[in-house]
Amino acid sequence: MAGNIKIIRSIKKMQAVSQQMSRKGTIGLVPTMGFLHEGHLSLIRQAKKQSDKVIFTIFVNPTQFAPNEDLSKYPRDEKGDIAKIKAAGGDIVFIPKRENIYPDGFETYVNCEKITQTLEGKSRPTHFRGVTPIVAKLFNIIRPDIAVFGQKDYQQVMVLKKMVVDLDYPIKMIIGSTVREKDGLAMSSRNKYFDASQRKEAICLFQALKTAKQLIKSDSITETVKLRASMKKTIKKICPTAKIDYIAFSDFESLKTTNKVNKNTICSLAVKLHGVRLIDNMKMG
């Protein structure tokens, strides 16, 4: 049975509480933008296995949204989120205010150079400039021993891992597996934007990834140009109106583009469906 859960909104209070907690045991951190689904909750359970206390954060971070993106309508459900976190075993929920995280005159950013220039970074040039400072701030406020992120946001995790190494944060980074719906669609807060018929077409990303993996396994096709062409056909067959942003094959650690699949290759894609942009990825090796 889930125990009591503490809600903290003040940065100073969060700092004080985390300092007290660190004297008694290890701290696990799960940063999110809220509107939680099973994927988020699986990260809490993973953090619980490797730390004594788990702090869960909810903050819809404005700096990682471009002006034409969905900041204003991004789904929110604070009361429901807190109930889910409590049931999953979270100990503290940190919900800071925007004006406290980004006070007037804020102008300090963390920029990871090469690793942010491909995939999401290429399609959304300002995105990671917004992600890295908020996570750096959360790391400084909470001082966790471990931090858990989901593989669905794979490039984001690799960018943050690079930041942790380069800035000498004493934090163990853990990647939780992507949690999927029964039909394979990666769980995402943005899935709520679809109506029933659109939702059926949203599986095109997962089916495209499966297509590539099957071709590698059954037909020994490793040339990424051939795999990409087959994936595009799969997407268009399921959702003729889909707009493919990118389909990329990269080295899992470095994110460098590869022309042939090997055991360390990950395929990532971004597709816009009925006005909703989704991402997904899968190891090919």
Place of tokens 């099957």: 214
pTM of the model: 0.93
pLDDT at residue 68 in the model: 86
Beta bridge pairs of residue 186? 180
Q: Are residues 126 and 10 in the same domain?
A: yes
Please check whether residue 196 lies inside any domain of the structure.
yes
Last-in-domain residue among 124, 145, 176:
176
Last-in-domain residue among 126, 154, 176:
176
Last-in-domain residue among 126, 142, 176:
176
Please, where are the H alpha helices in the chain? 11-24, 38-50, 78-88, 98-101, 119-123, 127-142, 154-166, 196-201, 204-219, 224-238
* pLDDT tens per residue, range 124-142: 999 999 999 999 999 999 9
Q: Are residues 161 and 194 in the same domain?
A: no
Per the annotation, the verdict on 40 as an active-site residue is: yes
pLDDT at residue 3 in the model: 58
Q: Are residues 82 and 43 in the same domain?
A: yes
Please check whether residue 1 lies inside any domain of the structure.
no
Q: Are residues 25 and 139 in the same domain?
A: yes
For 149, residues 6+ apart whose C-beta sits below 8 A from its C-beta are 31, 43, 156, 157, 160, 173, 174, 175, 176
Domain extent for 203: 189-283
| Cα–Cα distance measured from residue 45 to residue 112, given in angstroms and rounded to the nearest whole number | 29
Q: Are residues 145 and 259 in the same domain?
A: no
Q: Are residues 197 and 150 in the same domain?
A: no
Choosing from 37, 40, 127, 274, the catalytic residue is 40
Please check whether residue 183 lies inside any domain of the structure.
no
Q: Are residues 169 and 193 in the same domain?
A: no
Query: Which domain CATH number covers 278?
Result: 3.30.1300.10
Please check whether residue 182 lies inside any domain of the structure.
no
Q: Are residues 206 and 253 in the same domain?
A: yes
Please check whether residue 140 lies inside any domain of the structure.
yes
Q: Are residues 20 and 151 in the same domain?
A: yes
pLDDT at residue 4 in the model: 84
Burial of 131 (0-12, 13-18, 19+ CB in 10 A): buried
Q: Are residues 248 and 109 in the same domain?
A: no
Q: How far is CA 168 from CA 32, 35, 195, 215, in A?
A: 23, 31, 45, 41
What's the domain count of the chain? 2
Q: Are residues 221 and 265 in the same domain?
A: yes
pLDDT at residue 218 in the model: 93
Query: Which domain CATH number covers 26?
Result: 3.40.50.620
Across the chain, which has 285 residues, the per-10-residue mean pLDDT values are 81 98 97 96 96 97 92 94 95 97 96 93 94 98 98 96 97 97 97 96 98 96 97 98 98 94 97 97 94
pLDDT at residue 285 in the model: 83
Q: Are residues 208 and 108 in the same domain?
A: no
